[in-house]
Amino acid sequence: MTEASIIGLFVATVSFGALLYLAALGELLAEKAGVLNLGVEGMMAIGAVTAFIIGVELKNPWAALLVAMLSGALLASVHGVFTVGLGAEQVVSGLSLTILGLGLAAYLGKDYVGLPPGAELVPVEWGGLSDLPWIGPIFFNQAPIVYLALLMGIAVSLVLSSTRLGLALRAAGESASSTDSAGHSVLGLRLSAVAAGGALAGASGAYLTLSITPQWAEGLTAGRGWIAVALVIFGAWRPGRVGIGALIFGGTLALKTRLQPFGVEFSPIILSMLPYVLTLAILLIISVRARKRPSPAPFGLGLAYRREER
């Protein structure tokens, strides 16, 4: 096991961690407002394919990222309209969104499969910082979207904890009827949270096709959207903890292929299951502790709000 191999492990951990973190932050926003969106995988796929298409057509990675975020928001809004507007079952609608997103992405991307990328977001050089041993390659030589993930994590955390908007958003997720009584639009709050969440999932997808593996093919997201959903539970609906969880889950992804060159005899299949096993364990802890203290899940999560049925 050489130093370069260990540094490589951490570089990949941070990179995969950022991928998962962006999508999980989006899911956290929606869930904080009371909307469970199981369509993360579909929104990531749409973000990935639109980023790639725009990259090929316009050769501009930033335009590609922007369009990916807009497409993610648009697709999420479908879920928003059905669940928030029409009060449809959130689980059913979210699952449909995953299938819809994956199918739509495959359809849109049909002519772009296997094409060389038109635009890429390459790692940022931070001058002398990038040359530092260990710290340099791991933190100061990552793709721009990694830093975007960090910024978004801080922003989401601040907005939720210290702004009136964040308070209203959390209230919409805890008790929609009292939020409504207080004069806030539950509909507006929830719809915007779902759309913003979709934009972050779209950015996560764009990270795949603009940096990690700059190409498009069906099945590119490979279930990582589901890990993001699990991550929100793992992080107990707190942006900071979700970030730590993202690094742990990202580490399992990075370790999956590296155990073999490290000479460790351990099935990569078991390692792939680890994020889900950890999440189940956290769910267990939450439900066992629920007798003594309330669950960290938003109280109104999954419940449709209809004023006339109050």
Partner 1 sequence: MRKRLIALLAVLFAFGMLTACGSDDSSSSSSSEASSSSETEEEADSGPETKAAFIMVAPIGDAGWNYAHDVGRQYAEEMTGVETAYVDAVPEGTADFGNYVRDFIDQGYNVIIGTSFGYMDDMLALADEYPDVVFEHVSGYKMNETNFGNTFGRMYEPRYLSGMVAGSATTSNLIGYVAAFPIPEVIRGINAFTLGVQAINPDAEVEVIWTSTWFDPAVEGDSAQALLDKGADVIAMHQDSTAAGEKAEAAGARWVSYNTDMSEFAPEAFLTAPVWNWGPRYVEIIEAAQAGTYAPTAYWGSMAEGIVDLAPIASDVDQGVVDQVMEAKAAIIAGDLHPFTGPINDQDGNEVLAAGEVMDDGAMLGMMFFVEGVIGSTG
Residues that bind partner 1 (CB under 8 A): 2, 4-5, 7-9, 12, 16, 78, 82-83, 86-89, 92-93, 96, 99-100, 103-104, 106-107, 110-116, 208, 212-215, 217-220, 222, 224, 253-254, 256-258, 260-261, 265, 268-269, 272, 304, 306
Residue 200 Cβ vs partner 1, minimum distance, rounded to whole Å? 19
Residue 247 Cβ vs partner 1, minimum distance, rounded to whole Å? 16
Burial 252-275 (b: 16+ CB within 10 A, else e): bbbbbebeeeeeeeeeeeebeebb
* Complex with partner 1: residue 202 or 214, whichever CB lies closer: 214
* Complex with partner 1: residue 170 or 256, whichever CB lies closer: 256
Rounded Cα gap, residues 250 and 259, in angstroms: 14
Nearest 5°: phi and psi at 183?
95, 10
Query: Angle at Cα 275 formed by Cα 273 and Cα 19, nearest 5°?
Result: 120
What is the DSSP annotation of 202-265?
HHHHHHIIIIIS-S--TTTTTTHHHHHHHHHHHTTT-HHHHHHHHHHHHHHHHHHHHTTTTT--
Residue 204 Cβ vs partner 1, minimum distance, rounded to whole Å? 12
Nearest 5°: phi and psi at 23?
-65, -40
Rounded Cα gap, residues 193 and 226, in angstroms: 19
* Complex with partner 1: residue 230 or 304, whichever CB lies closer: 304
Residue 162 Cβ vs partner 1, minimum distance, rounded to whole Å? 35
* Complex with partner 1: residue 91 or 290, whichever CB lies closer: 91
Residue 82 Cβ vs partner 1, minimum distance, rounded to whole Å? 5
